[in-house]
């Protein structure tokens, strides 16, 4: 990739818009396309407000300069044709992603790289027909990507090795934390770990062991604290006198027994309905957007805290 | 419980010492006993240093006054006899806990409450023989309890309802975040959720999808961030336009498929050995204690950050 290549964003909802900020704040020129004109109109006002919030939190030196690097394009070809890296963040179904990737494929430089924001569907299911399929891979962020740095890189069986290596370098350079999978698996790492915990949380709630609120508090004021700056392996490595092997010897049997007694079933419909009612009593539907803004403000402060404490990028 | 009852700490290792600080900083007189004289000698110097660190982080107004509330007793009876609440934190085996509980039972006031720091063994397995068994319950903290506020309250089948209610009130008053289980289950909530995630993490590592380091980074720089101030249910409630029921409708099937394809096996011995070698290359055995101190310093700053941001107690 040439120095400070042009970056294209295809699909400019919340995820795509966050990606635009990630690349622009690192000094890249970013060209944005979304097929929906209403979405295209929302991008720059949203980015202006978000960049200002980052600057206020000390996470961005000069938000106005950053904004000058963003432009919205009327066609996909215009956004993509000169780009060295293209981030695709369209709606997550195999059909929508297939169509978007074929359109990108037709307009892209053959040496460009296309990272898909897919949160769980592997790239092999929607890039096989692409002429440049060796240049496509998964680059899955957490929402919103400009506040949560991790990005999962997952190759399809036909992804070029250098496309993986180059994307890893780019992501590190722009301040994200890339993690690399060796091969595809549904849900990748992040959502498989999330799913495992959620499956157990639903089961405990379904069986009446504790309230939704208390299960949430167990994580928010307990289990989640160390995990916000250390991973699960380092956590257990520090939690037994002799480290991780000592921990496994002491507690591995208990954890296996718990898993062996759990027969995984689908999340129970009636329990989901009840959980929905409880959540809507705590937080009415009309307040969801306000609470999401609260979450993002908290993530902004957490990112600034981690940065200033040397606990994050 | 009378106002500002005396608190007794039985077992004064890292967990018990942390508990002593929790109660003393909230204004309680705390009497500490440990059967090991070497442990008894370490408690006050450790508490002095830790209270100073809390004061420096703005989490404690006056560490010297707090220290005046702590005393170490030469016998269990001396620590326990006038106490309104007793926190038991001895080594976690059924035998050691049974013996400690019988000794406490013989010396305690019949209206006192005994909370056990057991991290996974339910109280019914070691309190049945106690005369005052209705006053015993689980009060499981995260280590160290003075930096991580959650505490799981779990009744045995014979625990008095008012002992649960009173402990909940006490824990809230001293600044912890109590969560209540309706009945016993191995591992309670916290370690069942941790175990579910760990089982999946070991499987992904064992099957070679990603490195130990990248699995840790996926949590530390991604999945763990929202969980450090919101629980898993609120996280998914905010992650779909229509809230938690909408999220379950979109992604419940994917999460169930992942679980259905996993056959839970024991953590593989050879993989544990390999993980241990990798961790010891990143962090030599001789540096484990230093890294634990680093973790606790980070948790102290995180607690101060959450408090000042209104994200935690």
ipTM of the prediction? 0.96
Q: Note the Cα A308 to chain centre separation in Å.
A: 23
Write the residue in A148, A228, A232 that is nearest to B302 by C-beta: A228
CB < 8 Å & 24+ apart, contacts of A166-169: A166/A1, A166/A113, A167/A85, A167/A113, A167/A115, A167/A137, A167/A139
| A72 and A162 part of one domain | yes
Determine whether the interchain pair A227/B227 forms a contact, defined as Cβ–Cβ distance below 8 Å: yes
CATH number for B253: 1.10.1040.10
Please state the domain count of chain B: 2
Report d(CA B139, CA B168) in Å as an integer: 9
CB A227 within 8 A of CB B224: yes
Q: Whole domain around residue A258: which residue ranges?
A: 190-282
Q: Dump pLDDT digits (tens) for B198-254.
A: 999 999 999 999 999 999 999 999 999 999 999 999 999 999 989 999 999 999 999
Report d(CA A147, CA A297) in Å as an integer: 9
CB B133 within 8 A of CB B158: yes
Going by the DSSP 8-state scheme, the letter that residue B92 receives in this structure is S
Q: What is the pLDDT of residue A172?
A: 97
Determine whether the interchain pair B234/A285 forms a contact, defined as Cβ–Cβ distance below 8 Å: no
| B138 and B206 part of one domain | no
Q: What is the pLDDT of residue B3?
A: 67
* Last-in-domain residue among A145, A180, A215: A180
Q: Which stretch of B17-26, B177-186, B258-267 has the lowest confidence by average pLDDT?
A: B258-267
Kindly state whether residue A200 falls inside one of the protein's structural domains: yes
Tell me whether A225 touches chain B (CB under 8 Å).
yes
* Last-in-domain residue among A180, A202, A222: A180
Report d(CA B163, CA B168) in Å as an integer: 9
Tell me whether A283 touches chain B (CB under 8 Å).
yes
User: Which chain B residue lies closest to A274 (C-alpha atoms)?
Assistant: B245
| B167 and B223 part of one domain | no
Report d(CA B173, CA A107) in Å as an integer: 63
| A169 and A200 part of one domain | no
Write the residue in B177, B224, B252 that is nearest to A228 by C-beta: B224
Kindly state whether residue A298 falls inside one of the protein's structural domains: no
Determine whether the interchain pair A222/B177 forms a contact, defined as Cβ–Cβ distance below 8 Å: yes
Kindly state whether residue B288 falls inside one of the protein's structural domains: no
Nearest-Å Rg of the Cα atoms of chain A is 21
Write the residue in A182, A251, A302 that is nearest to B209 by C-beta: A182
| Phi, psi for B157 (deg, rounded to 5) | -60, -25
| B122 and B239 part of one domain | no
Q: What is the pLDDT of residue A114?
A: 98
Residue whose pair of structure tokens reads 């979405």 in the numeric block: A39
**Residues in A touching B226 (Cβ below 8 Å):** 148, 224, 295, 299
Kindly state whether residue A312 falls inside one of the protein's structural domains: no
| A174 and A196 part of one domain | no
CATH number for B92: 3.40.50.720
Exposure letters A85-124 (e unless 16+ CB within 10 A, then b): bbbbbbebeeeebbebbebbbebbbeebbbbbbbbbbbbb
| B20 and B141 part of one domain | yes
| B225 and B141 part of one domain | no
Q: Dump pLDDT digits (tens) for B79-131.
A: 999 999 999 999 999 999 999 999 999 999 999 999 999 999 999 999 999 99
| B29 and B166 part of one domain | yes
Q: What is the pLDDT of residue B34?
A: 97
Kindly state whether residue B87 falls inside one of the protein's structural domains: yes
Q: What is the pLDDT of residue B172?
A: 97
The length of chain B is: 313
CB B156 within 8 A of CB B122: yes
* Last-in-domain residue among B139, B160, B180: B180
Kindly state whether residue A307 falls inside one of the protein's structural domains: no
Best of B14, B228, B236, B308 to substitute, by most chain A Cβ atoms within 10 angstroms, is B228
Report d(CA A111, CA A191) in Å as an integer: 30
pLDDT tens for chain A, 313 residues long, are 446 899 999 999 989 999 999 999 999 999 999 999 999 999 999 999 999 999 999 999 899 999 999 999 999 999 999 999 999 999 999 999 999 999 999 999 999 999 999 999 999 999 999 999 999 999 999 989 999 999 999 999 999 999 999 999 999 999 999 999 999 999 999 999 999 999 999 999 999 999 999 999 999 999 999 999 999 999 999 999 899 999 999 999 999 999 999 887 899 999 999 999 999 999 999 999 999 999 999 999 999 999 999 999 9
Kindly state whether residue B167 falls inside one of the protein's structural domains: yes
Whole-angstrom distance between the N-terminal and C-terminal Cα of chain B? Answer: 23
| B80 and B59 part of one domain | yes
Determine whether the interchain pair B199/A242 forms a contact, defined as Cβ–Cβ distance below 8 Å: no
Tell me whether B233 touches chain A (CB under 8 Å).
yes
Residues 6+ apart with CB under 8 A from A76: A10, A33, A35, A103, A104, A107
> Nearest-CA neighbor of A237 among A224, A225, A250?
A250
Kindly state whether residue A1 falls inside one of the protein's structural domains: no
| A146 and A195 part of one domain | no
| A51 and A131 part of one domain | yes
């Amino acid at each position: 990739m040439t120095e400070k290549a042009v970056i294209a964003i295809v699909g400019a909802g919340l995820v795509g818009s966050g990606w635009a900020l990630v690349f622009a704040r690192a000094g890249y020129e970013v060209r944005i396309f979304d097929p929906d004109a209403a979405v295209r109109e929302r991008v720059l006002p949203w980015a202006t407000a978000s960049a200002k919030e980052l600057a206020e939190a000390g996470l961005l030196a000069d938000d106005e300069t950053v904004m000058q690097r963003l432009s919205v394009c009327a066609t996909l070809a215009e956004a993509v044709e000169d780009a060295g890296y293209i981030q695709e963040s369209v709606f997550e179904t195999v059909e929508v992603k297939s169509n978007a990737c074929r359109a990108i494929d037709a307009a892209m430089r053959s040496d460009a790289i296309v990272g898909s924001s897919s949160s769980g569907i592997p790239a092999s299911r929607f890039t096989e027909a692409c002429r440049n399929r060796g240049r496509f891979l998964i680059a899955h962020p957490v929402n919103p990507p400009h506040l949560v740095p991790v990005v999962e890189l997952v190759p399809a069986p036909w992804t070029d090795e250098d496309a993986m290596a180059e994307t890893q370098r780019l992501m590190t350079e722009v301040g994200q934390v890339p993690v690399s999978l060796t091969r595809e698996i549904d849900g990748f790492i992040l959502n498989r770990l999330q799913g495992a915990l959620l499956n157990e949380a639903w089961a405990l709630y379904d069986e009446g062991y504790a309230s939704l609120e208390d299960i949430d508090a167990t994580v928010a004021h307990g289990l989640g604290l160390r995990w916000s700056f250390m991973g699960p392996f380092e956590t257990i490595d520090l939690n037994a006198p002799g480290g991780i092997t000592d921990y496994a010897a002491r507690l591995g049997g208990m954890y296996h027994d718990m898993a062996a007694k759990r027969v995984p079933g689908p999340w129970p419909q009636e329990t989901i309905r009840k959980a929905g009612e409880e959540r809507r009593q705590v937080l009415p539907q009309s307040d969801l957007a306000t609470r999401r803004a609260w979450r993002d403000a908290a993530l902004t402060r957490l990112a600034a805290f981690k940065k200033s404490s040397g606990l994050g990028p």
